[in-house]
Structure 1
Amino acid sequence: MLPSGATNGIIDLGLPTVETALLFHRGISTKKDAESFLNPSSSSLNDPYLLPGMAACVSRLQLALKNNEHIGIFGDFDTDGLTGTVVLSKGLRDLGGIVFPYVPHRVQEGHGISSESIEFFKEKTVTLLVTVDCGVTSFEEVSLAGDAGIQTIITDHHSPNERLPNAVAIVNPALKDSDYPFDGLTGVGTAFKVIEALFQTYEKSVPEYLYALVALGTISDVGRMRDENRYLARKGLAVMKRLQMPGIDSLIQKAGFSKNRISSENLSFGIIPRINVAGRLEHADLSLRLLMSTDSEESTAIANKLEYLNKKRQVITEKAVSEARDQLLSQSSKKTPSMIFSGNKAWPAGILGLIAGRLSEEYHRPAVAVSGSGEYLRASARSIPEFNMIEALRTCESVFEKYGGHPMAAGFTIHKDNLRKFRQQMSSIADELLGQLSVGSVLEIEHEITPGWLNSESLKFLSDLEPYGDGNATPVFMTTGVNVLDARTVGKGGDHLKLTVEHKGNLFDAIGFRQGNRLKEARGDLDIAYTGGINYWNGRQSIQLTIEDFRKSNHASSSL
């Protein structure tokens, strides 16, 4: 609903109540802001030279291009790092650069510049190394590269420490002296700004296909979907629908999506997991080859391999999450702890973030998942808005071999003898900050409606709100007094809940993902919280409600 104190400026758009409320909830209260949000333009892009280190970065890259130097690109192994690596590699090659991209093995090399990568670049006679989505804490590695005659440019968006590596340039919006007007750039977004600045220098337009890669990486890293990120992601999605890109197209086909209807949700739940799985279970170089590929046959073969790995990953992850839940339930205290710790020496390091993320989501607590059987253990941490994970890790950084991350996600390597001390320190911090926090996250309802509000016109408006993400969440609606006509489980193992519901004489299909265990609750009249969209099946389309939560209804519908 619109608060009584809302300004009237946005009403001038002539939009209905629900649409007006959705914009207001996003901090949009004027006609100008509404038009800018719904139709973002290139004016949203900030001057790349406002980023610290950009001038020195571009100058050194120009010199490398002029002298035909061999340029190494080192990127992180997740989708943000991979897409950023491809953006820099392809962008520089379009300018005539001799480029050698490299991504590390998650287990054997870990995050950040590795000694193995430096050996690779030495073999390729690289004289300039550019990092993507990492490097701002790689002090020793940058020095090691320097000893090998390799200069380094760091492009990163992670929070730096007090000390910075001895690099030619550090392009990072998170640096303390940064005056960049947007603090939400991702790793691929920062790499794109380098290409944007470089192409400006040569008075050339940035190739359109790069925007599709920027959209993919920005959405994968849950970049704040406002301002510059919103424009980049939206333009990238449009480019993705229009241009032939063998690597991405093969994944879209394998996931069963329609290319001309690809959405941010499709990327988040269908495409990005397939890209990430190579680094989780084998080597991210497989996904790098896919994104770099211009050959349809090669892309299809790699996409088939990623499909196999992703199915394997799903089975392994579900088993591990179940084990982690059992560990939590077996604790002597019946109260959910302020921070959740789980571990198993056999869990693959590549799925630790997924385990921690699921626990954090289910219990609304920061969570840490650990694995490894040697002297050194690997861990991933996921958090909630009330708890800044990277700041908490900094308070006990002496126990780590290395660590890094964001307020909501982080990772570290730790000696096994320090694990108990780490757990005690982090538990103490969490108890102090979260001691009174209730279990379970709060579901934000944007508006109470009848499902009948969902029609071609309103769904077009919801499409205009895309791409969704941090700062622009998918709208969740509520309807009371919905009558369940049919309820059953679907999917492998009956994981999902499929409903047919009736409201004011209208029938709707509804799906509740990972809610198959609630089948017995889905009877009679319910109040439902859901998102709305179109389901395409066998050439037909129908409105489908995606259930976020439901409860028994105590009253008849009062929806507008």
Structure 2
Amino acid sequence: MKTLQIRRRVGQGVPGGWAESVHPVLQQVYAARGVLGPAQVEHRLARLLSPLMLGGMAQAVELLVAAIRDDWTIVIAGDYDCDGATGTAVAVRGLRLLGARRVSYAVPNRFIHGYGLSPALVESLQPKPQLIVTVDNGVASVAGVAAAKAHGIRVIVTDHHLPGEQLPAVDAMVNPNLVNSEKCGHASPPCDRCVHDARLNQSFPSKALAGVGVMFYLLLALRARLRESGWFARVEKCTQGEASLDSRDQDDRRSTEPDLSCLLDLVALGTVADLVPLDFNNRVLVEAGLQRIRSGRACAGITALVEAGKRSVATLCAGDLGFAVGPRLNAAGRMEDMRLGVECLLTDDVAQARAHAERLSAINRERRDLQASMVAEAELMAAGAKHIDAVGVTLYEPGWHAGVIGLVASKLKDRLHRPVIAFAPASIEECGDGSPLFDSRGQDARPSHEECGEGSPLLDPGAQEVRTSDSTLRGSARSIAGFHIRDALATIDARHPGLIERFGGHAMAAGLSLKARDYPRFAAAFDAVARELIDAEQLQAVVYTDGELPIGALSLSLARQLRNAGPWGQAFPEPLFDNLFECASWKVMGESHLRLQLRDPRDGMLHDAVMFNAYHGQPPPTPLRAVYELGINDWQGRESARLLLRHIEPA
């Protein structure tokens, strides 16, 4: 593991205009994130960016108006992660609320259909719909859209991923990151419509919308267009239910204008779980969703998932969505079938939602066990290959589960502080015996951990072929700050045409597929690109803090203000502080957690602290420097301040 360096954030200006009740520490925290006054944390829905600022919106809306008016069959083509599942639920619920009567959904099984709107997914749709609307995918689905078009199906793509060299020939595409006017799925040179859409996206201030956010924006624009056309006869508040939509009478469909804010709990969950930057626009969406959940107005599925995660609905924060709720949904897509997750979010039956949530929790426990085993294997591989000292790290094990490799890459990236791509066989069938955990060559053919050292084909770019078959590997990549992982894959693709079969993603995460025989060549190419683009300073692991808390500030009142001041998340990080302490006492909780009493040497005050997965047989140092969150311990209804330690080192 790389040595961690502690650095302190600096303010991006002088805070001003705050009420006296806002703690000076919180003002300092805000200033370090570019928030200098109260107007920048007024997360009111009225301050959302207009949906009409997005390119492709007009075409998508007109197509959906026709679909609702003429009673088309519509299939929502989702994705198998939390963003895709929540986006699918938002699309199905929202379109039904707006009057669509024949809306269903399809989510690909990663082991059968592959990713996104693939030809295999299109062929599986029976009967064929008149319209497909993608959520959180589609910008790279050239073949899938062509397959849909061959069946006479219209296609609207809603996505937020970065586009590749070729765009699908869709009827409409809404994607804030489609900003290159030279790209067009319809003609070359690009058609006037695509040039216009790209220019709109270039001026759209928030490129950080998650897939669920893009879909919510489409519903807002669709509602406005329906209102303008006189579709709604009167205005009423909606609920999460669908009772008013069951009637086959068209006048009933036209009688109510729904309050689409009833979908914001789903939008908040998908946005936080997808780790998109929480810019102002996303914070508005997330805060509104959290308020719905805290007030007891969430859909039955989210409430059940919160309860299954042992979190309090009344005090739920963005971190709870990311660490307790999101992983339960993601586990279904990683291990089994995301339809279970979508059904949990679509049902209005409380008992059914709880049953789904319990099943999702059980799958998540299986995922955690499998992940722990795979991470342990990956760490041994990395430890045995230190002589290579790769900057761009690649890992492959034929027994790994393709649904969990992203988590393995993330864990190894954090521990090595280098970009990591983890690979696994692309499908269960390619593992031979039907199990994702074993290679078809048998247990004896799998390399041992010792074989992952000198001359290992798993990390050594100069090694021989990993496998001699034509089987496909699926890779999941996670990056460090300053190294755009999708652009790195694009560079490799340009230098080595045909080496990568498919790829896509963002700056910090991406996915790809390639032939198993090409793995060593790809490993060498990835390391070469990483060495070119990453300097030594970027390989230094750093934790940024908001400095030292002053005497008397380690209090419950400040902890409450910090908890309520978010939503904290990606690019708007949870406040961290660093102070010197003396370790007055400590004990082990469970097998690996620490509970400590830390004394502030400045005033002698004792503070409760916990640190998870921190005990490795040695006592904590004293004196010590700790990086920590100022949190709240809620025990039997009594709240007290508690330090959640993220890092400790001898002082």
- Give the drift of 1:401: 1.8
Residues of 2 paired with 1:535 and 1:202: CA distance? 48
Q: After TM superposition, list the pairs within 5 Å mapping 1:307-322 onto structure 2.
A: 307-322=361-376
Q: Structure 1 residue aligned with 2:119, among 97, 112, 115?
A: 115
Instruction: Deviation per CA, 1:328-374: give whole Å up to 9, x if none.
Output: 111151x7421222121111111000000001111111001011156
Alignment-derived partner of residue 495 in structure 1: 592
Residues of 2 paired with 1:256 and 1:451: CA distance? 33
| Bigger Rg over Cα | 2
SS for the counterpart of 1:197 is helix
Alignment-derived partner of residue 502 in structure 2: 402
The verdict on how the C-alpha distance between 1:58 and 1:438 changes in structure 2, with shifts beyond 3 A counting, is closer
**Contact preservation (8 Å) 2:135, 2:159:** yes
Alignment-derived partner of residue 535 in structure 1: 633
Q: Structure 1 residue aligned with 2:578, among 459, 471, 478?
A: 478
Instruction: Deviation per CA, 1:395-440: give whole Å up to 9, x if none.
Output: 1223122111111001111111221111111100111222524655
Instruction: Indicate yes or no: 2:143 matched with 1:140.
Output: yes
Instruction: Deviation per CA, 1:456-515: give whole Å up to 9, x if none.
Output: 4322331343111122100110111x1212222324xx2322212222332222111222
**Contact preservation (8 Å) 2:17, 2:38:** no
Q: Structure 1 residue aligned with 2:222, among 169, 175, 198?
A: 198
Instruction: Indicate yes or no: 2:483 matched with 1:387.
Output: yes
Give the TM-score, by structure 1 length: 0.93
Q: After TM superposition, list the pairs within 5 Å mapping 1:212-291 onto structure 2.
A: 212-242=265-295, 243-291=297-345
Give the TM-score, by structure 2 length: 0.80
Residues of 1 paired with 2:391 and 2:302: CA distance? 40
Residues of 2 paired with 1:232 and 1:413: CA distance? 34
Residue type of the partner of 2:303?
D
Percent identity between the two aligned chains? 31
Alignment-derived partner of residue 650 in structure 2: 552
SS for the counterpart of 1:214 is helix
Residues of 2 paired with 1:310 and 1:46: CA distance? 36
Q: After TM superposition, list the pairs within 5 Å mapping 1:72-151 onto structure 2.
A: 72-97=75-100, 98-121=102-125, 123-151=126-154
The verdict on how the C-alpha distance between 1:99 and 1:12 changes in structure 2, with shifts beyond 3 A counting, is closer
**Contact preservation (8 Å) 1:215, 1:237:** yes
- Give the drift of 1:247: 0.6
**Contact preservation (8 Å) 2:611, 2:645:** yes
The verdict on how the C-alpha distance between 1:308 and 1:423 changes in structure 2, with shifts beyond 3 A counting, is same
Instruction: Deviation per CA, 1:264-297: give whole Å up to 9, x if none.
Output: 1111111111110011111111111111111112
Alignment-derived partner of residue 558 in structure 1: none
The verdict on how the C-alpha distance between 1:91 and 1:12 changes in structure 2, with shifts beyond 3 A counting, is closer
Residues of 1 paired with 2:173 and 2:260: CA distance? 24
Instruction: Indicate yes or no: 2:211 matched with 1:211.
Output: no
**Contact preservation (8 Å) 2:15, 2:27:** no
- Stretch moving more, 73-82 or 124-133: 124-133
Instruction: Indicate yes or no: 2:539 matched with 1:434.
Output: no
Unaligned runs of 5+ in 2: 1-7, 180-197, 228-256, 426-430, 432-468
Residues of 1 paired with 2:12 and 2:167: CA distance? 46
**Contact preservation (8 Å) 1:2, 1:24:** no
Residue type of the partner of 2:335?
L
Q: Structure 2 residue aligned with 1:292, among 334, 346, 349?
A: 346
- Give the drift of 1:207: 2.5
SS for the counterpart of 1:283 is coil
Residue type of the partner of 1:509?
D
**Contact preservation (8 Å) 2:135, 2:211:** yes
User: RMSD over aligned Cα, in angstroms?
Assistant: 1.9
- Give the drift of 1:524: 2.6
Instruction: Indicate yes or no: 2:478 matched with 1:378.
Output: no
Residues of 2 paired with 1:44 and 1:230: CA distance? 11
Residue type of the partner of 2:597?
T
SS for the counterpart of 1:126 is coil
SS for the counterpart of 1:260 is coil
Instruction: Deviation per CA, 1:142-185: give whole Å up to 9, x if none.
Output: 01101112110000011112321111101000112223121111
- Stretch moving more, 230-239 or 196-205: 196-205
Residues of 2 paired with 1:487 and 1:414: CA distance? 49
Alignment-derived partner of residue 556 in structure 1: none
Alignment-derived partner of residue 608 in structure 2: 509
- Number of residues paired by the alignment? 542
- Give the drift of 1:391: 0.1
- Give the drift of 1:61: 0.1
Instruction: Indicate yes or no: 2:544 matched with 1:444.
Output: yes
Residues of 2 paired with 1:452 and 1:365: CA distance? 39
The verdict on how the C-alpha distance between 1:40 and 1:332 changes in structure 2, with shifts beyond 3 A counting, is closer
